[in-house]
Amino acid sequence: MIKVSVTLYGKPCWEIKMEGEQMMDSDVLRDHGDYLHQHLYDVADIVDRFAHAEWEMEGTAYSLDFWKKNISLANAKKELKKLGINQKLVKIEEWEDIEEMDVMGLDEEELEEFEEV
């Protein structure tokens, strides 16, 4: 099974040097706003492409995770390339079995639903 994670955005202090600052350049905020705008549009395109290719999705606090069973890591990378998904925008992980998903905090019912897919 393959899991592909796409980061939405993090806490502001993770992305902008501002903690403890007494003043900041407003252009930094404008530039970051422009970056977030483009990044979220890119993520929306990725969502559309995964949906079209029938991957499962789970939203998390800071990212979207996409899942596909019965596919190897090599084939998943080929599929991402075919879908036109920039692999620099995603994190790809191979999972050995469904039980590893419990680490993600899925409850028993969610695990059962996923196993039926």
Identify the pLDDT of residue 117. Answer: 46
pLDDT tens for residues 52-62? Answer: 999 999 999 99
DSSP conformation letters of 29-48: HHHHHHHHHHHHHHHHHHHH
Report which of 108, 109, 86, 100 is spatially closest to residue 3, judged by C-alpha positions.
100
Look at 64 and 108; give whichever has higher pLDDT. Answer: 64
Q: Quick one: average pLDDT of 70-90?
A: 94
Question: In the prediction, which pLDDT does 43 show?
Answer: 97
Show the CA angle centred on residue 35, arms to residues 28 and 64, nearest 5°: 130
